[in-house]
Structure 1
């Protein structure tokens, strides 16, 4: 048990902070600690979690990308137009088109970083502005409301009416989010590519000398984020039942902050899917609780920023400093082996 906690310091600390926060919010508003509200938070968080697990792979490899939300906006528009040209399409075609366009946009970032040797944050700031500028120029900011019926029809995998008359639903975005989380976890934890991504992010020069294909690491990490951005864009269109050019604009910093909050290191070589998910949920829970309390929306960013700062500070602390009994246990084991 102690080894498990020590090996997942950030995740356990963040989970503890979330529990304390939930207890506090449950006293502040009686609507917070309900099953229907919990499902609402999960449904609303699905798109951001898909973004976050894609960004996690880039962060693990030592890069950074802030263009993914705008890329997802581009994917929404291109997919909607492509499906219209195909006569309406279906879910399979929708995922193929969205995923392909998303990967293509991700590979553009990878090429800028690897081929032109541009620092990833500079490259993605550039593509952020290029993608968004092109999108607004060609669309003139006009939204698309005439989407295929299959895309706008809510897909509910589970629903139940509660005693108080409210409904709980498990929708398609949540199921897709779970699949994306599993796929990302499997790639970074159970494949050679995942181990190489961690090694490259932790020590790029050492990875190069060890024979790891550096170009492949860039293309895989940014391509994976592009794929997740494409899927997230499609799920956003399904959830909102419309395509709005700037609907996802501004989410990149919230997702980046939540991913780092979950333990991903900006310098690379560290991060986990569970920590990533907890980070996004932490931010979503905070915003949901503040909303139920009637706090002004203008205070959201300030309060959420403070929560993130505190949580990151706690997550950075060693668990043996937070839990003295673990430190004593480690000391005893050390003396017994000496």
Structure 2
């Protein structure tokens, strides 16, 4: 057990905390530990988890991006308009257009960061505002409801009728999320590119001296996030049944909090897909529990802000060192 805690400390503690929160919520709310609520958690968390695995790659590479939610909104409109011009299309065409548009927006960020030597947080704050401004200017804030049937048709992967007559359903977004998670895991853990991303994020100068293509690392990282943002945009429209220009605005902080809570270091070079999943689930379960208990949503925003602040503070300080330091102080 001590060896497990040392090798996978973040994931282990997240599992313990997540199970503890679930136990408390199941005791204080009879609605929490039901199949319908658990399936609904997976359905609603799918978009954020797709965002999260994309952001994980950027954080591993030592960058940060807060424009991905707006990029996903832009992709939604691009796909909707493109499909209108070709008479409807299908999932293959929709995903292809979303992938190209998302990767293109991610590449813009990577190009600005690499060629103009601007730090990623500044670039993505700028592109956040540029993308959102252009989106609202051209769309005038008007939502799109007349969408192709394949995009809005609810696809149920698994359903179960509960004793009270209600249905618990797992829908298409969960399957898309699983594919994105698997693809990201294969990229960062089972490819040469993934090892190079970790090396680049941990020590950019050392990676450059080893012959790693710095430009390629940045374009791959931000391009991957752009790809995930495009896919997440399509999934969110499928779930919401409409394209709304500001529907995803604000999710970037929730996702960032979840990913850093899962162990990704803001300084780069660290992070796992498992930790990312657990971080998203912890944030989602906390939000769901607060809703079931009737607590103000502003309390959730306070929690998210505290998580981000704590992550920044502890990003370069391993948990073991912090605990050891507290023990030394208590003995003194």
TM-score (norm 1): 0.91
Q: CA deviation at 1:36?
A: 1.3
Aligned to 1:317: 319
CA contact (8 A) 1:287 1:304 kept: no
Q: Partners of 2:35 and 2:12 in 1: how far apart?
A: 23
Change (3 A) 1:122 1:307: closer
CA contact (8 A) 2:257 2:304 kept: no
Aligned to 1:40: 40
Q: Partners of 1:271 and 1:139 in 2: how far apart?
A: 37
CA contact (8 A) 1:61 1:268 kept: yes
Aligned to 2:268: 268
CA contact (8 A) 2:260 2:308 kept: no
CA contact (8 A) 2:136 2:245 kept: yes
Question: Residue deviations 1:210-237, cap 9 Å, x none?
Answer: 0000000000000000000000000011
Aligned 1:68-217 pairs, distance under 5 A: 68-217=68-217
Aligned 1:253-292 pairs, distance under 5 A: 253-292=253-292
Aligned to 1:335: none
Moved more, 185-194 or 22-31: 22-31
Q: Partners of 1:304 and 1:24 in 2: how far apart?
A: 20
CA-based RMSD of the aligned residues comes to 2.0
Change (3 A) 1:320 1:313: closer
CA contact (8 A) 2:142 2:244 kept: yes
Q: Partners of 2:85 and 2:100 in 1: how far apart?
A: 16
Runs (4+) of structure 1 moved beyond 3 Å?
1-5, 303-316, 319-322
The secondary structure found in structure 1 opposite 2:271 is: coil
Change (3 A) 1:109 1:308: closer
Question: Residue deviations 1:33-73, cap 9 Å, x none?
Answer: 11211111111000000000000000000000000000000
Q: Partners of 1:234 and 1:291 in 2: how far apart?
A: 26
Moved more, 204-213 or 20-29: 20-29
Q: Partners of 2:38 and 2:222 in 1: how far apart?
A: 32
Q: Partners of 1:209 and 1:128 in 2: how far apart?
A: 33
Change (3 A) 1:309 1:109: closer
Change (3 A) 1:225 1:318: same
Q: Partners of 1:316 and 1:50 in 2: how far apart?
A: 27
Q: Partners of 2:204 and 2:251 in 1: how far apart?
A: 29
Aligned 1:232-243 pairs, distance under 5 A: 232-243=232-243
Change (3 A) 1:319 1:34: farther
Aligned 1:50-65 pairs, distance under 5 A: 50-65=50-65
TM-score (norm 2): 0.93
Change (3 A) 1:49 1:319: farther
Question: Residue deviations 1:142-201, cap 9 Å, x none?
Answer: 000000011010011111111232211111111000100000000000000000000000
Aligned to 1:330: none
Question: Residue deviations 1:243-280, cap 9 Å, x none?
Answer: 00000011111111110000000000000011011111
Change (3 A) 1:137 1:222: same
Question: Residue deviations 1:55-114, cap 9 Å, x none?
Answer: 000000000000000000000000000011111000000000001100000000000001
Q: Partners of 1:313 and 1:110 in 2: how far apart?
A: 27
The secondary structure found in structure 1 opposite 2:170 is: strand
